[in-house]
Amino acid sequence: NAGVTQTPKFQVLKTGQSMTLQCAQDMNHNSMYWYRQDPGMGLRLIYYSASEGTTDKGEVPNGYNVSRLNKREFSLRLESAAPSQTSVYFCASSESGTGELFFGEGSRLTVL
Amino acid sequence: GENVEQHPSTLSVQEGDSAVIKCTYSDSASNYFPWYKQELGKRPQLIIDIRSNVGEKKDQRIAVTLNKTAKHFSLHITETQPEDSAVYFCAASGGGDSGGYQKVTFGIGTKLQVIP
């Protein structure tokens, strides 16, 4: 039981490049989330998917897109990376929208 | 939307002493208050949570209290140990949303250092 798996763990991009962060969970959870973590700002929600087939914006969605590919997978795409998107990104899942979040190991993204 | 304030941002205690972290929230409809611990370079993990129908919950050396009237909740760690050193996040969720989903809003985190 791997829990929540996200890839890649590290990535360096140049301004304007695009990339996709992949996330998969094997706990049969309905809800999935993407957060970014920046020093002094806690965890901020980028996008979430309450259930398969639905996605919604969180606090800081600008510059990102998401796809809930199926119940297991939820990807985050940066179409044109900017230095302000340098951060640690965490994918998470929960059985429903009202309980414990299970986080992946994080992806550290640097945009030069 | 919900706003969660957390303090202090850093906290140093001697091993064996107690540590208290406090959070306030703004949305009176919030009804679930989890606490997450994040060790350096690791993922956040749930350590304790409380729902709005109880005022206090304990799990060994960790306890959480909730005051719904004042809209604040606190984490108490007793007999601190070096392995308690980490960043602790409070969070609040509730208020309702489409499909019954309740957004989780996090505080900015408290870096706890336990000095041996």
Secondary structure (H, E, C), chain B: CCCEEEECCEEEEECCCCEEEEEEECCCCEEEEEEEEECCCCCCEEEEEEECCCCEEEECCEEEEEECCCCEEEEEECCCCHHHCEEEEEEEEECCCHHHCCCEEECCCEEEEEEC
Spatial separation of the C-alpha atoms in residues B43 and A103, rounded to whole Å: 6
Pairwise pLDDT comparison (B55 vs B54), residue with the higher score: B55
Cβ-Cβ contacts under 8 Å, B104 against chain A: 33, 45, 101
> B103 vs A48: CB contact, 8 Å cut-off?
yes
Chain A residue with the nearest C-alpha to that of B7: A40
Within 10 Å of residue B10's Cβ, how many Cβ atoms? 11
Task: Kindly report, residue by residue over A61-76, the tens digit of the pLDDT.
Answer: 999 999 999 999 999 9
Question: Which residue, chain included where needed, has tokens 């809930």?
Answer: A68
Spatial separation of the C-alpha atoms in residues A106 and A103, rounded to whole Å: 8
Termini Cα distance of chain A: 36
Residue A63 main-chain phi, psi, to 5 deg? 95, 0
> B99 vs A97: CB contact, 8 Å cut-off?
yes
Residue A104 burial class via C-beta count within 10 angstroms: exposed 0-12, middle 13-18, buried 19 and up:
buried
* Candidate from B43, B93, B99 with C-beta closest to A54: B99
Provide residues of A within 8 Å CB-CB of chain B.
31, 33, 40-45, 48, 50-51, 54, 56, 58-59, 90, 96-101, 103-106
Chain B residue with the nearest C-alpha to that of A30: B101
> B44 vs A90: CB contact, 8 Å cut-off?
yes
Chain B residue with the nearest C-alpha to that of A37: B108
Within 10 Å of residue B58's Cβ, how many Cβ atoms? 12
Provide the pairing of β-strand A64-68 with A56-57: unpaired
Predicted pLDDT at B29? 87
Task: Kindly report, residue by residue over B65-104, the tens digit of the pLDDT.
Answer: 999 999 999 999 999 999 999 999 999 987 554 444 567 8
- Contact between B65 and B24 under an 8 Å Cβ cutoff? The reply is no
Tell me if residue A20 falls in helix, strand or coil.
Answer: strand
Res B53 pLDDT > 80 = no
Tell me if residue A49 falls in helix, strand or coil.
Answer: strand
Cβ-Cβ contacts under 8 Å, A103 against chain B: 43-45
Provide the pairing of β-strand B10-14 with B56-59: unpaired
Kindly list the distances between the CA atom of residue A47 and the CA atoms of A3, A61, A75, B17, B18, in Å, as whole numbers in the listed order.
20, 6, 10, 40, 37
> B99 vs A50: CB contact, 8 Å cut-off?
yes
Cβ-Cβ contacts under 8 Å, B46 against chain A: 100-101
Predicted pLDDT at B102? 65
Nearest to B51 by CA among B75, B73, B29, B33: B33
Spatial separation of the C-alpha atoms in residues B106 and A4, rounded to whole Å: 20
Task: Kindly report, residue by residue over A26-55, the tens digit of the pLDDT.
Answer: 999 999 999 999 988 889 999 999 888 899
